[in-house]
Structure 1
């Protein structure tokens, strides 16, 4: 099994700019903007989310200080508290009421809810933790609680990208509008602790946003002059137990939305227009943290917060159950053939592959089932003073299935692999994507349509969004900038 020791790194004072015909290109730090170096990126928006662009988060108590207290009836006060802070807080207020019947009834209900919570905690340990801690533990984003950029999602049909920031805003940029122009900002007070986003297939404007309270489906009309859609443009979908939503995925026909939650054992299939749900039958007690639809739409991967992950047949909705020896599936992605699954676990620095064959996997004969095979060792290595590798945080493959990008939990570089599938799956390290000094990668995503090859988008801890194109052509696609630009490695 290969490792990262053969990987080449940029020279001192340089960062990787792009990859051309399998050869990594580097540039000096003082020429940071790749858009000015590569002609094919000049139509892309230049994105850098700074702190002054973020919306301030107002705590629940700050808004009350702006108003003078008034005398209101107890029922009206209780209704207001229920609407603003929820049932539990309303019951606590009621338990302190002067009327014995009201206070005793509220106390009994609180005790029953506490007992139910203890039972749920026994079967699902995730329930005892706070929402933000659960999300930080299971998120695909590195250090989710502390990073400015939390999610990046490219539209499947047009050049439009949605970026989630730490103020729970979803900012949508379009290359048709121009550089540094925000086309839309979608934000709502019920949309707290955003974990994931997904564009709807066969739709130009609909995007689903997963957060700690459920799912919000926004309609962002690109032809509208309104840069901040109102609540009338949103559909809220939630159930009482299904939280926090950790992963969502649209079917290729755009008619079904799959969601999973860390504190809920059920995987829900939503009909968002009718607000109806069905749940996949997946016995377990550890919650679910990741769902991935295959590119062909025939299979669905679901990963629990424990040892179990499943591959579903989307025609019969039967599943094949797989178990790990230790840990859980941290991240996974499908290759473009719709049958090859690449994943990494939370306990070892190894990339695994699994080939799912419809005529073998969905059968009662266990002997013919395939095995997950280790294909690459990502153990930490020191290459000329550059530390690379370790446990994997997230990964993504490009739409052609020729490249795999890997982001690590504790080292500050991204490795891009070339993928070969014949006669067997092999990963060949091709590029090392490095940020500026003190920058750390937080999340990555491949562009869905890139005519010159493939294009990786990286969100850095500074708020900078970097494009890393992988070009299958000659250097005519590049604008050289004197001695600052180097073709090839050292």
Structure 2
């Protein structure tokens, strides 16, 4: 099994900028510019969300001291508290004996514990996701806002903000749609409709659908089906997995014993398989045609992060305790099989990520988050205790392997918070990193034989996108 000694780190005072034809390039951080090596990301939005750009999170109590108390009916009090603070606020106000039961639903510490983002409760950026078809990036921040950035310098940056959207945990663009973004948060899901042609900087909540179930909280992971017709959500304190018909606000459920809640869901790119994991030892791989599942168990802890290959036949995962990256091979639509040549009954340890010191740089440890690029050639790994992001090459022949490629280091005092790959990048792959400072970095992985066609393809894709109307996509 390979280990982190295969990696090389940039020279002292330098930061990683890109990888071209398998070679990492870095520059001194004082004048670092990725455009010195490649122009593949020069039109991407420049994003640095500093603390002074954040909106204060309101508790709703700030102005109450200015008013004299009045007699208000119980029903009116109940309605007002529910509108401002939700069901948890009602419980705290009128049924304090039930506070302990609901405290676990509303506690940010629980979300911080199971989140894919490192330092979820402290860092500026909580999650990022790219639009499937155009260079448009949604960024969720610690002030419970979602900002949508595009490469057009003259475009408006929509701000998705509402009182109901508290403690954002995850965001996901809807496939086969050019306008819809699902935002998972403490109390449920909000599916925003963001018109790219609108001049409104802050869309109203009337442009959104609110999806909530009382016991399904806090929502910590969501996934659209590749066709965009189903949305699946899991909650840290609910062992029921909900499958949403968004337009009708109806759900069907997948429920299996094992753990008091679920913390991660990943739909395979082909749409045939679904990965879910509990907050205990168990995780499952579902066949989405029959909704049968295979149950797996880790030896200790729980699965922290996982991702699918682009073909849907390989599942990579890591636990919250072991610094090991595992792989599961799915062949012939089966995981377990009596035929040892076509299936395996155990996960394959692929890479030992035990924390080490490489030329004065600490790297590795237990995994926080891992993502594979849409072409299935690269894996990016963010660690719980160290700042670098590790990028691997995924090799499937003659056997599944992870080959060390490059380490992405940030500016001094920066720590990596969250990662995501650009969904449409013709020149190869492009890793996007949200740093603790609020800076967004693009780390292109370029193959020059592909890059020559990328500009013309991006132009045609953008033209095709702009010609679509909303009615051209699934509602």
Q: TM-score higher than 0.5 here?
A: yes
For residues 91 and 226 of structure 2, the distance between their equivalents in structure 1, rounded to whole angstroms, comes to: 44
* Residues 466 and 182 (structure 1), Cα distance of their counterparts in 2 relative to 1, 3 Å cut: farther
Q: Is the 8 A contact 1:48 1:463 kept in 2?
A: yes
Q: Give the superposition deviation at 1:356.
A: 1.2
Q: Which residue of 311, 314, 322 maps to 1:348?
A: 322
Contact 1:307/1:327, CA 8 A, preserved across alignment: yes
1:52 Cα deviation (Å)? 1.4
Residues 318 and 326 of structure 2 are in contact (CA less than 8 Å); yes or no, is this contact kept in structure 1?
yes
Task: Give the deviation of 1:288 after TM superposition.
Answer: 0.3
Query: Residue 83 of structure 1: CA displacement?
Result: 3.1
Instruction: Indicate the residue corresponding to 1:5 in structure 2.
Output: 5
Task: Tell me if structure 2 keeps the 8 A contact 1:242–1:264.
Answer: yes
| Corresponding residue of 1:235 | 209
The match for 1:322 among 293, 296, 300 is 296
Q: Once structures 1 and 2 are overlaid, which stretch shifts more, 295-304 or 367-376?
A: 367-376
Q: Decide which of 172, 179, 183 is 1:198's aligned counterpart.
A: 172
* Aligned counterparts of 1:360 and 1:458: Cα–Cα separation in 2: 35
1:17 maps onto 2:17 in alignment? yes
For residues 148 and 265 of structure 2, the distance between their equivalents in structure 1, rounded to whole angstroms, comes to: 23
- Give the drift of 1:451: 1.4
1:178 corresponding residue in structure 2: 153
Paired position in structure 2 for 1:84: 84
Paired with 2:343 and 2:404, the residues of 1 have a C-alpha distance of 32
Matched, 1:137 2:141: no
CA deviation map 1:84-135 (0-9, x unaligned): 33456556766xxxxxxxxxxxx7xx65x57xx76xx9xxxxx747520110
Aligned to 2:183: 209
Residue 42 (structure 1) shift: 1.4
User: What is the SS of the residue equivalent to 2:257?
Assistant: coil
Distance 1:150 1:68 in 2: 39
Per the alignment, residue 486 of structure 1 pairs with none
The answer (yes or no) to whether the contact 2:239–2:255 under 8 Å persists in 1 is no
Q: Find the counterpart in structure 1 of residue 391 from structure 2.
A: 416
Asked whether the 8 Å contact 1:21–1:474 carries over to 2, the reply is: no
- The match for 1:255 is 229
- Secondary structure class of the residue paired with 1:360: coil
In the TM superposition, residue 384 of structure 1 has moved relative to its aligned partner by: 1.1
SS for the counterpart of 2:80 is helix
Asked whether the 8 Å contact 1:35–1:46 carries over to 2, the reply is: no
* Structure 2 residue 386 is matched with structure 1 residue 406: no
Distance 1:365 1:239 in 2: 43
**Secondary structure class of the residue paired with 2:406:** strand
Conserved in 2, the CA contact under 8 Å of 1:356 and 1:370?
Answer: no
The Cα of 1:73 is off from its aligned counterpart by 3.9
Query: In the TM superposition, what is the alpha-carbon distance from 1:475 to its structure 2 partner?
Result: 12
Query: Which residue does 1:397 correspond to in 2?
Result: 372
How far, CA to CA, are the matches of 1:167 and 1:24 in structure 2? 35
**Whole-Å separation in 1 of the counterparts to 2:243 and 2:31:** 47
**Cα gap change, 1:54/1:295 in structure 2, threshold over 3 Å: closer, same or farther?**
same
Q: Partners of 1:173 and 1:8 in 2: how far apart?
A: 33
The aligned runs of 1:11-410 (5 Å cut-off) are 11-35=11-35, 38-86=38-86, 90=90, 113=98, 128=104, 130-175=106-151, 177-178=152-153, 182-361=156-335, 369-410=344-385
Asked whether the 8 Å contact 2:337–2:345 carries over to 1, the reply is no
Q: Measure, in 2, the Cα distance between the counterparts of 1:288 and 1:88.
A: 20
Q: 1:308 to 1:384 in 2, by over 3 A?
A: same
Q: How much has 1:283 moved relative to structure 2?
A: 2.0
CA shift, 1:60, in A, is 2.9
Structure 1 residue 30: deviation in Å? 1.5
Give me the whole-angstrom Cα distance separating, in 1, the residues matched to 2:422 and 2:228: 19
Q: 1:128 to 1:364 in 2, by over 3 A?
A: farther
Aligned pair in 2 of structure 1 residues 63, 381: CA closer, same or farther (>3 Å)? same
Q: 1:68 to 1:156 in 2, by over 3 A?
A: same
Distance 1:91 1:315, change over 3 A: closer
* 1:423-459 deviation line (CA, Å, top 9, x unaligned): 1111111111000100000000010111111100000
Distance 2:301 2:205 in 1: 40
Q: Which has the higher contact order (CA 8 A, sep 6+)?
A: 1
Task: Give the SS at the match of 2:40.
Answer: helix
Preserved CA contact (<8 Å) 1:299 1:311? yes
Partner SS, residue 334 of structure 2: helix
**Distance in structure 1 (CA, Å) of the matches to 2:136 and 2:364:** 31
The alignment of Structure 1 onto Structure 2 pairs a total of residues equal to 451
Q: For the pair shown, which has the larger CA radius of gyration, 1 or 2?
A: 1
Corresponding position: 1:452 with 2:423: no
Does the CA contact (< 8 Å) of 1:355 and 1:370 recur in 2?
A: no
